[in-house]
Amino acid sequence: MYKWVIIGVLALALTGTAFWGYNERQEKNDIKMQAENNYQRSFHELTYRIDMLHDKIGSTLAMNSRDSLSPQLAEIWRLSSEAHTDVGQLPLALLPFEKTEKFLTNIGDFTYKTAVRDLDKEPLSEEEMQRLEKLHDNAGQIKDELRNVQNTVLGDNLHWTDVELALTDDNPDHSDNTIISSFKTVEDTSGGFSDEKDFNNGALPASNEEHKFEGVTGERINQKQAKTVAAKAFDLNTISGIKGGKSGKGSDVPLYSLSYQKEGESGYADISQKGGHILTLMMQRDREEPKLGLHDAQQKAQDFLEEQKLTEMEMVQSSQYDSVGIFFFVPVQNDVRIYADIVQVKVALDNGDILGYNARDYFMNHHERDLQKPKLTEEQATEKLNQNVKVQETHLALIENDTHEETLVYEIMGTRNDDETYRIYVNADTGKEEEIEKQTTTEARFLQST
């Protein structure tokens, strides 16, 4: 009797477990399929868009009338941006695919710049047509490779989730995975042309080359000297607790990176090997309620900058975040604000200590500039603005425009409808509106408690 009851209960339990297991498996498969389908969508869209991209560049080249060129170029720009988004949704990270992505960004930048240009006044140059021709060839090669991969994926029913698994396992050799090896071929194809010289000079400045760190001058210092500089900035009496060493070969400027740690407090500094300038300083500790106003804290920041031999600096923005104040300073040369050389200082509002200092941009870009007198007067520049904008404040400034050239502008703070504040940069020679930024530096606090 007992025996049968136990057998019955066990049988029931077994069926229950089987049912539960089956459900779990089903659910897991559903989720896996969802992930797989997302990847598949991104991949097929990518191939389709590269195909379109190739066609559109082709028809632009074949086009005779220059009037309809701008919409075509804008279309290419949109396609390249969408294709770039597709790439970002595929599980390719750690698989080198950056050259193809750079290629897409290059197309985008090039077509955007030509699309927004007034092509009646300034038609595509011979050089630009050649460039477009080349982009067309390159897009064609990538298209062919991707269509090949697509064919294999569809023919052999390959799964992107398997790519994901292959990339996470410890075996560094993925040559047995068809998708991975095909994407490597695509990347090699793209690599061939993104290395070409003319590819770097137009669309995107190769960012490492332009950072010359001209501001870093002086004698080379040794590690002990660097530690002395750091100790002073950390407000320590001794260098004994400071650890750190030289930066590696990937660093854009040779540094000593030094840090110290003691209970409830830590500090970090990057000091240039040449000249011993502090490029980055960060301190972290618990803070009490603010006792200092921003105005007094600003004075502390200014004093600190002078200690660092950064003079002729103007404060352009101050913000309080609970118990710290963050200040942005820019150097002023002949009454012109030099925005590329911006410096940030962070001050504790409980006792006025300097908690942070960032002069990377300053030392990267700073040099004596040859500043010409603006061709337009302030009145002429403000006349060109939208009628609904009420001009409140004007300064001369040097900014990088969207083609990464330093441009002399009038920086105009204006309000629209007495409501929103805008920062408008008007070219001081041509009157062109180089850039308009809406100022949103405050936001209502969200009320739900976390």
Q: Minimum Å distance from CB 250 to other proteins?
A: 3
105 is an interface residue for other proteins by CB under 8 A: yes
Q: How far apart are CA 272 and CA 73, in angstroms?
A: 44
For other proteins, which is the closer residue by CB, 17 or 392? 392
- Near other proteins by CB under 8 A: residue from 141, 177, 223, 280: 280
For 219, 272, 275, 286, the CA distances from 222, given in Å and listed in that order, are 10, 10, 10, 32
Rounded to 10°, the helix 2-62/160-168 angle is 100
Residue of the chain from 49, 56, 78, 99 that contacts other proteins (CB under 8 A): 99
Mark the segment that binds other proteins (CB under 8 A) among 5-13, 58-66, 87-95, 136-144.
87-95
Report the residue from 15, 251, 351, 372 that binds other proteins according to the rule CB under 8 A: 251
**Residue 101 interacts with other proteins (CB under 8 A): yes or no:** yes
Residue from 197, 249, 309, 373 touching other proteins (CB under 8 A): that is 249
Q: Is 403 helix (H, G, I), strand (E, B) or coil?
A: coil
Sole binder of other proteins in the list 131, 136, 337, 360 (CB under 8 A): 360
CB of 308 to other proteins, least distance (A): 16
One residue of 72, 111, 182, 358 binding other proteins per CB under 8 A: 358
Q: Which of residues 211-240 bind other proteins (CB under 8 A)?
A: none
Q: Which region, judged by CB under 8 A, interacts with other proteins, from 1-9, 133-141, 294-302, 395-403?
A: 294-302
Decide: is 450 part of the binding site for other proteins (CB under 8 A). Answer: yes
Residue 266 sits in the site that holds other proteins (CB under 8 A): yes
Helix (H, G, I), strand (E, B) or coil at 320: strand
Span from 121-129, 139-147, 371-379, 432-440 in contact with other proteins (CB under 8 A): 432-440
Asked if 180 contacts 166 with a C-beta cutoff of 8 angstroms, the reply is yes
Contact 410, 428 (CB under 8 A): yes
Q: How far apart are CA 72 and CA 369, in angstroms?
A: 39
| Residue among 18 and 27 whose Cβ is closer to other proteins | 27
Q: Is 380 helix (H, G, I), strand (E, B) or coil?
A: helix
Residue selected from 93, 155, 157, 311 as contacting other proteins according to rule CB under 8 A: 93
Joined tokens for residue 428? 């001081």
Of residues 167, 180, 371, 436, which one binds other proteins by CB under 8 A?
167
Q: What is the spatial distance between Cα 429 and Cα 381, in angstroms, rounded to a whole number? A: 9
Q: Select 225 or 247, whichever has its Cβ closest to other proteins.
A: 247
Tokens of 278: 């502090």
Q: Is 347 in the site for other proteins (CB under 8 A)?
A: no
Least spacing, CB of residue 322 vs other proteins, in Å: 8
- Cβ 397 vs Cβ 425: under 8 Å: yes
Cβ atoms of 270 and 246 closer than 8 Å: no
Of the pair 262, 375, the CB lying nearest other proteins is at 262
β-pair partners for 282:
268, 356
Span interacting with other proteins, options 55-63, 72-80, 99-107, 121-129, rule CB under 8 A: 99-107
Residues 365-384 that bind other proteins (CB under 8 A): none
Crossing angle (nearest 10°) for helices 126-155 and 178-194: 170
Q: Interface with other proteins includes 290 (CB under 8 A)? A: yes
Rounded CA gap, 234 and 229, in Å? Answer: 9
Instruction: Dig out the tokens for 32 from the structure.
Output: 């896996």
Residue 28: burial class (beta carbons within 10 Å; 0-12, 13-18, 19+): exposed
Please report whether residue 92 would count as binding other proteins according to CB under 8 A.
yes
Supply 87's token pair.
């790439």
Q: What is the C-alpha to C-alpha distance for residues 274 and 277, in angstroms, rounded to an integer?
A: 8
Q: Is the dihedral of CA 357, 358, 359, 362 positive or negative?
A: negative
x-or-dash string of contact with other proteins, 147-166, rule CB under 8 A: -----------------x--
Residues 6+ apart with CB under 8 A from 162: 177, 179
Q: Which of 114, 138, 344, 427 binds other proteins (CB under 8 A)?
A: 344
Residue type, 249: K
Say whether residue 261 binds other proteins (CB under 8 A): yes
Of 12-20, 56-64, 147-155, 295-303: span binding other proteins (CB under 8 A): 295-303
270 binds other proteins (CB under 8 A): yes
CB 46 within 8 A of CB 169: no
Question: Among 71-79, 114-122, 279-287, 370-378, which window interacts with other proteins (CB under 8 A)?
Answer: 279-287
Q: Nearest distance from residue 270's CB to other proteins, in Å?
A: 7
Determine, following the binding rule CB under 8 A, whether residue 448 of this chain makes contact with other proteins.
yes
